A and B are shown apart, each in its own frame.
Chain A
């Protein structure tokens, strides 16, 4: 709950206000002014451009035309964060206490024991090394980004003092007159003053997949939709245009979005919050125990120095030193695994976020769809035919034998200016690059696929004249020679908006025969048109006519400007409709998300009808679910009479979204399971994400355009597209889908959920050994026995033997179908909860501690010190000057002799912990299933078992260890002391899990299922 409040801190009022300003719509007004007014405003000239002096002045005033790079944290700050974050503070405290203790000893004693100094150095080394490790891991993953940076400096063609000059795009200033042509990137926001067939690709800004034409006239109040403004960093696809720069750098529409994006404060990732929660618990326990025993030690009459040393011991025992490194390694391993499946993770912690995700807001274009217009349907012979829209042409084919189809394809092929770029013969037709607009390319590919080479067809039917498409006619026509060399007639082909085409037709072709267009046919046409339009498809009508030879003999001069030939009474051939079809894998992926309890919301800049059609196509609006409008249409009642609660699905238009209050917004998000937002602006996308987060959802946003980047940044996890994605979006995202495929997200969700489960297991495993590490100290202080386990041996466990097994749990396979359960509830399903602590500390840890203590008592007893004698022996035991301490048999021991026995006990305790950790590792493999169900297929885990044992044996038997770590060789029998306890752990936990499985929801599950 506190987290949510943190997101809008009050102290940043000024900044918040600024951000709110940025969240508002674009304030550009120049599109409504006349060219002259614009010129006056910028003191420029529409022919001559700016003077060099003015340009220099403006450059000085406005700064360079470049986006301010987002503020980056300096490397040393990042490093320090790693060095002092998490448990580090606790360990630093321990290290400082060590040095302090050593300093006191050095000052008061002649020959101070080096133990504390060494321990201090070791602790410091541990902190520094784990800090460096995490830092480099993080640096490595953030380096991925650098490869995406576009280093090529951009050029712009400006007209200054009447001369065209090529300058660096950074030097462009407001008021500059610039020229762009097809293929250029637009260097700033410009008000178009003149254009020739200019089309720009605004997809990265608005999400519209088709290029938009640009012209000097204002066509819309909204600057984003009007034709006379072209935007910074969008691309000019074809044609040329001239315009006056109205905004540069951060003041451009794109710049505002980028500033908005980098200014957004992102919350912590869910896993970071979980780890923080966990660190709080552990630190709390450590500080509580440490302080309690410090006070207790003072009360019991220990000296300050001793009490401080106890404090150090308790801190060292309580902190799982290796755990954070383990978590980092586990996350890295998962990140690598995901990278192999085309999910590149920029921020390591984001690996898990997808697993917690409960809502995905997906952009449509390019993510859900192929971002390529494709012919979807045709209507001819009074019948709708379905074309194959799949990426690999695996779909059903339609009947191509009809003569009408031949005519239709001929019209579509001839009345088409698109052509394949050269040198792509080896590439499959669908993947070839095409010069031309999206719908013409779609037609070209469709015809090429079904009828063979379009070029040959065009060669056979030489083009004689052509009228290109314009918005007033809404048609395009061309006149060709016929294929038959004996036939001297000309063939006129035309395509365009269906209703306009129909108006010009008097006949219709049915089964290859021309028939008069009657009312019945007109109605059939209307129905087909409505149906295809309702599918969100763009429909084109096609017609042709063979011009009579007597009127248009061979060599007739067709005048396309002043049309001197017949353009009506044509013969209607058919309709072809196109859509940007969904990717093949998407419906399946959406289905998987849904069964995984994840709500998929479509947020797109595209039109509602298209958006809804695609949403239905991919299952975002599932079959049988209706929107309010659908219900109204079905029941034939006005929309206002429909109870909005009846509709599970809804499609919301951006302009409606603008007027919604926060409550209404929450209401929509809460009560509809299937939501499509259409015509949304970047700011609205942000509002949608915030709305979902307000309802407690963990939100993933996918997108490729610049318009998506604020939402990407605000989301708990932003997923950008690797191929089609813009740099800004990649910059803002946490994860990049290298294959642009929505289905990869499902992999991400699966991996994220798996790593969350496995981290739980890993932490349960690591935390368990804390109890056998702490209890020796407590008993040492309270009942005055010789110390059973030293700080060095504790570090050997935490940083040595426990590491590989803990990491190996990251490789554990899922216990059940993790994609069939609901996403975790971040408020309730914690990474480390009281049940995990109860199991690890209260149960398994206690058994482990007993195993260790048993080994300890065995060694002391077999050496002559029976348990009954040990209680209270500590003062004499640790007295350096007492060299004839009597054991239970009457033998006398020097200080060093009994210390060797004590250190042998430490070694045995350590080995016992390794032995009981075998069983712990095996039981931690599963949380619910039996090991016998799960199997021992995890090879890394088996390696881990052998590795920890080998390491323990090495530490015990390697010569020199007595000097280096004060670990001594064990008699072989002492290895077996903890075996019964190891066995007990295994049996106990198997029994617990058996009851847990038999009794779902029972007490055992409630109290022990972590």
Chain B
């Protein structure tokens, strides 16, 4: 008997024809409560918008309020292999490395000398390219220094369209993450990138060659003034070419940035100031 009662109770709760109530409320009651919540939420949204507006007013247009989380800039390699930080290919199998070459092609496109010459300024090397604002008057837009693709020489993809992948001497391009105002290196001592094999693989890595020489990053590319002020900024790159790496074996490599004023990244972050990846070149010979 209880079930029948419950059923009709439910029906009546849903729509009570006697009191003309839907879900326990009349139309006007629903209307009022909707109106109330509409006004209430509108006011709340207004309040939220107001506080957000005030907050956004306090922000600087060109430099974020806090940068303490970026004290050690990240290091990133190209070509980037999907999710795994692995570059694995077979020398003889064109398809297995073609994608890497294409990625690098695309990545280096903006660095074509012609484009650089068109957009960017030729700076005086070996010193920071500082473009101060004079007080309230902003010195914008700021100019950027050229980084020509040709600097990467045999890793530029100009002479060797396949970046050495076909020969089993692949190029890896390393870049330092952009951080506004960062001045790496001290006393105009240029920061440089070094790569090394991880402990067990030391004998497998073979000879490396860096472009530009010694893997240095010229200080003229610093500081970075942010994408609004420095629209055409070209991030400096370092290419590493593995000349005689052991084939058919996993080689774990770690590259890191060497600059006195860049703190070593925390234990947890594997990509702050360093980058590790696995390189495996299979060869059928």
Measuring CB to CB, which residues of chain A are less than 8 angstroms from any residue of chain B? 1-2, 5, 842-843, 846-847, 850, 853-854, 857-858, 861-864, 866-867, 879-881, 883-884, 886-887, 889-897, 900-901, 971, 980-981, 984, 1003, 1007
Q: Are B48 and A881 in contact, CB atoms less than 8 angstroms apart?
A: no
Residues of the A chain whose Cβ atoms lie less than 8 Å from the Cβ of B5: 1
Is residue B52 within 8 Å, beta carbon to beta carbon, of the partner chain? Answer: yes
A880, A883, A891: which contacts B179 (Cβ < 8 A)? A891
Contact segment of B10-18, B74-82, B250-258: B74-82
Q: Are A854 and B55 in contact, CB atoms less than 8 angstroms apart?
A: yes
Residues of the B chain whose Cβ atoms lie less than 8 Å from the Cβ of A5: 1-2
Q: Are B62 and A889 in contact, CB atoms less than 8 angstroms apart?
A: yes
Q: Are B69 and A900 in contact, CB atoms less than 8 angstroms apart?
A: yes
Measuring CB to CB, which residues of chain B are less than 8 angstroms from any residue of chain A? 1-2, 5-6, 9, 32-33, 36-37, 40-41, 44, 47-48, 51-52, 55-56, 59, 62-67, 69-70, 73-76, 80, 82-85, 175, 177-180, 224, 226-228, 230, 233, 266, 268-272, 275
Residues of the B chain whose Cβ atoms lie less than 8 Å from the Cβ of A847: 44
Residues of the A chain whose Cβ atoms lie less than 8 Å from the Cβ of B268: 896
B32, B69, B233: which contacts A890 (Cβ < 8 A)? B233
Distance, CA A984 to CA B75, complexed state (A)? 45
Residues of the A chain whose Cβ atoms lie less than 8 Å from the Cβ of B179: 891-892
B159 CB → nearest A CB, Å = 27
A111 CB → nearest B CB, Å = 11
Distance, CA A880 to CA B80, complexed state (A)? 12
B48 CB → nearest A CB, Å = 5
B23 CB → nearest A CB, Å = 10
Residues of the B chain whose Cβ atoms lie less than 8 Å from the Cβ of A896: 266, 268-272
Residues of the A chain whose Cβ atoms lie less than 8 Å from the Cβ of B269: 894-897
Q: Which residue of A lies closest to B52 (CB)?
A: A857
28 A/B residue pairs, CB under 8 Å, sorted by A:
A854-B55, A857-B52, A862-B64, A862-B65, A862-B66, A863-B64, A864-B64, A867-B52, A867-B56, A883-B76, A884-B76, A886-B227, A887-B64, A889-B63, A889-B180, A889-B228, A890-B180, A890-B226, A891-B70, A893-B70, A894-B177, A894-B269, A894-B272, A896-B272, A901-B69, A980-B47, A1003-B32, A1007-B36
Residues of the B chain whose Cβ atoms lie less than 8 Å from the Cβ of A2: 2, 6
A842, A850, A863: which contacts B65 (Cβ < 8 A)? A863
Q: Are A881 and B85 in contact, CB atoms less than 8 angstroms apart?
A: yes
Contact A850 B48, CB 8 Å, known A1-B5, A889-B64, A971-B66: yes
B266 CB → nearest A CB, Å = 8
B33, B56, B67: which contacts A1007 (Cβ < 8 A)? B33
Residues of the B chain whose Cβ atoms lie less than 8 Å from the Cβ of A1007: 33, 36
Distance, CA A881 to CA B64, complexed state (A)? 24
Q: Are A858 and B73 in contact, CB atoms less than 8 angstroms apart?
A: no
Q: Are A880 and B83 in contact, CB atoms less than 8 angstroms apart?
A: yes
Q: Are B74 and A884 in contact, CB atoms less than 8 angstroms apart?
A: yes
Contact A891 B56, CB 8 Å, known A850-B44, A850-B48, A884-B74: no
B44, B59, B67: which contacts A846 (Cβ < 8 A)? B44
Q: Are A890 and B272 in contact, CB atoms less than 8 angstroms apart?
A: no
Q: Are B74 and A843 in contact, CB atoms less than 8 angstroms apart?
A: no
Distance, CA A894 to CA B37, complexed state (A)? 42
Distance, CA A513 to CA B108, complexed state (A)? 137
Residues of the A chain whose Cβ atoms lie less than 8 Å from the Cβ of B69: 863, 893, 897, 900-901
Distance, CA A892 to CA B64, complexed state (A)? 13
Q: Are A890 and B227 in contact, CB atoms less than 8 angstroms apart?
A: yes
Contact A892 B55, CB 8 Å, known A1-B5, A901-B69: no
Q: Are A897 and B6 in contact, CB atoms less than 8 angstroms apart?
A: no
* Contacts A2-B2, A857-B52 known; 9 new A-B pairs at CB < 8 A: A1-B2, A1-B9, A880-B83, A881-B85, A883-B177, A891-B226, A896-B270, A896-B271, A1007-B33
Distance, CA A853 to CA B177, complexed state (A)? 29
Distance, CA A432 to CA B233, complexed state (A)? 104
Residues of the A chain whose Cβ atoms lie less than 8 Å from the Cβ of B266: 896
Most buried by A among B52, B67, B69, B179: B69
B63, B80, B233: which contacts A881 (Cβ < 8 A)? B80
Distance, CA A896 to CA B271, complexed state (A)? 8
Distance, CA A842 to CA B9, complexed state (A)? 27
Q: Are B80 and A980 in contact, CB atoms less than 8 angstroms apart?
A: no
Contact A854 B271, CB 8 Å, known A5-B2, A890-B180: no
